Amino acid sequence: MNRAKQEFALGLRVKRDKGDPSYIYYEGHHIVPKCMGGKGSSKDWMHDNIVPLTAKEHFLAHKLLVEMYPNHGGIIQTFCYLCRLGKKTSGKDYQRLKNVLSKEITKRQTGKKRPNHSLAISGENHFFFGKKRPEISSAVRDKLIGNKNATKKIVDLDSGTKFGSVNQAALYYEVNPRTITRWANRSYRVAFL
Closest listed residue to residue 137, CA positions, set 164, 162, 171: 164
User: Is 103 among the domain residues?
Assistant: yes
Could you tell me if 7 and 86 lie in one domain? yes
Categorize the per-residue pLDDT at 149 as very low, low, confident or very high, splitting at 50, 70 and 90.
Answer: low
Q: What is the pLDDT of residue 144?
A: 58
Q: Give the domain extent around 156.
A: 144-193
User: Is 120 among the domain residues?
Assistant: no
Could you tell me if 98 and 51 lie in one domain? yes
24: left (phi over 0), alpha (psi -120 to 50) or beta: beta
Question: Amino acid letter at 118?
Answer: S
User: Is 125 among the domain residues?
Assistant: no
What torsion do the CA atoms of 101, 106, 109, 111 make, to the nearest 10 degrees?
-150
What span, in angstroms and rounded, lies between the C-alpha atoms of 89 and 72?
A: 19
Structurally, how many domains does the chain consist of?
Answer: 2
User: Is 184 among the domain residues?
Assistant: yes
Could you tell me if 98 and 173 lie in one domain? no
Mean pLDDT of 60-81: 82
Could you tell me if 104 and 172 lie in one domain? no
Could you tell me if 151 and 97 lie in one domain? no
Closest listed residue to residue 192, CA positions, set 160, 137, 153, 157: 153
CA distances from 111 to 74, 106, 114, 175 (A): 20, 10, 10, 57
User: Is 115 among the domain residues?
Assistant: no
From 108, 128, 159, the end of a domain falls on: 108
Task: Work out the burial of residue 84: count CB atoms within 10 Å of its CB; fewer than 13 is exposed, 13-18 middle, 19 or more buried.
Answer: exposed
| Sequence-ordered list of residues with C-beta below 8 angstroms from that of 101, at least 6 positions apart, any chain | 73, 76, 77, 80
What span, in angstroms and rounded, lies between the C-alpha atoms of 85 and 6?
A: 28
DSSP three-state, residue 51: strand
User: Is 39 among the domain residues?
Assistant: yes
User: Is 38 among the domain residues?
Assistant: yes
Q: What is the pLDDT of residue 129?
A: 59
Mean pLDDT comparison of 12-21, 48-57, 120-129, 135-144, highest-scoring range: 48-57
pLDDT at 160 over 80: yes
Could you tell me if 30 and 100 lie in one domain? yes
User: Is 113 among the domain residues?
Assistant: no
4: left (phi over 0), alpha (psi -120 to 50) or beta: alpha
